[in-house]
Structure 1
Amino acid sequence: MTRTPLPPTPWVFDPDQWPDDDCVASGADLAPSTLVEAYRRGAFPMPHDRELLWWSPMERGVLVPSELRVSRSLSRSVRRFTVTVDESFEEVIDACADPSRPGSWIDGPIREAYVEMHRLGWAHSVETRSADGTLVGGLYGLSIGALFAGESMFHRATDASKVALVELARRVGDGGLIDTQWSTTHLESLGVTQWPRDVYLARIEELVDAAPPPGWA
């Protein structure tokens, strides 16, 4: 997928000005150049009560691809499902945005912004499919250099989202990093750890300017 170059954003994301809080700013917009600049600086958008907020957790959830834990049962699931990439981005984001899911936060403007990022070649989806090709799980996020900023994942079959994560880790490769925003007990069981904000920001400085991994379309 060809990536479209973006113009500079008028918005400034300066970590030196951020408070010691997970929420670091409000306002701005969801234009492609704004989104890319935010991720490059370590922030991501998540609306709350119709207000556009920007977040950079004090403890950042990250997955080093080589540290992904693949259990025996997950290995069997990898063989049971088929994985595709960038074939059903809108289906994936719509499944992640399902309002019946606990903690659902993906609203219309967020959906439109990331669909546009996908059209421009910056956002990607990994889809997990059953034997008949039905979409049963997946994830999406932004690829910036050697950093993949994961946004959300879903599953309709056991291990389906985990299988998508296995493929994502393979594509990102050992030289890259997967940002999971926050960590959870579920993610920790897969190898996700927490880095202090300053450690995360220092690490991504070189990653966002690195060449994209060859395994990532």
Structure 2
Amino acid sequence: MESNAPELGAKPRTKNINSHSGRNQGDGASHRVVRKLPPRAANDRRNIYITSKTDFKAQQKRCKELLNSGVKEIFLHCMGYSITRGLNLALRLIKNSEGALGYTINTSTIQLVDELHPLCDEDDITFRQRNNSALHIRIFSNNLFNIDVPQLPAPPALPKVSQREPPKPQQPKQQHQHPQKANFKKQKAKAAKKQKAKAAKKQKAEAAKKQKAEAKKQKNT
């Protein structure tokens, strides 16, 4: 595994000429197969695509550098002959981490497109679709400091208390008398005084008459 020999599961290196011969509608023409690159989920540095042509040690070094730089997780994508190569790389990383890394695996089926180029100019280029199994390995850090703590929802806002001054105690209203009523009462009081004065004069006059009458009687006797 440490040497530059091909990893287990890698596509065997044979002198295989990338050609495909077939018949196109019975005319006996042969074709040259051009395999298109499979679709990729993302092109950022966390997604690593493993093939049988890339160097195993170089990919392992790249994964270590990413994880040591603070990246919380990386994704290894492999398909076909490269699936075993991707598994070996993931197990090597996890074993060397001494429990600091974990992994999850997902499988999928990828649809590939091949171009069939005719060897003669008379025929047109045709396309061929085929499916291939793929493996997606997620390697993540088990460090507790890398755990994302979900943020709690913000508490509801309390109703605003209006800073108003307390109501002042209401003073009893003074009863204002109407000026006409007040004048009427004054006049009435004056009239009452006059009547009392007249009555007092009458009483004095009557008392004086009685005294005079008694005095006359005494003289006559």
TM-score by length of 2: 0.21
Tell me which structure has the larger Cα radius of gyration. Answer: 2
Q: Which has the higher contact order (CA 8 A, sep 6+)?
A: 1
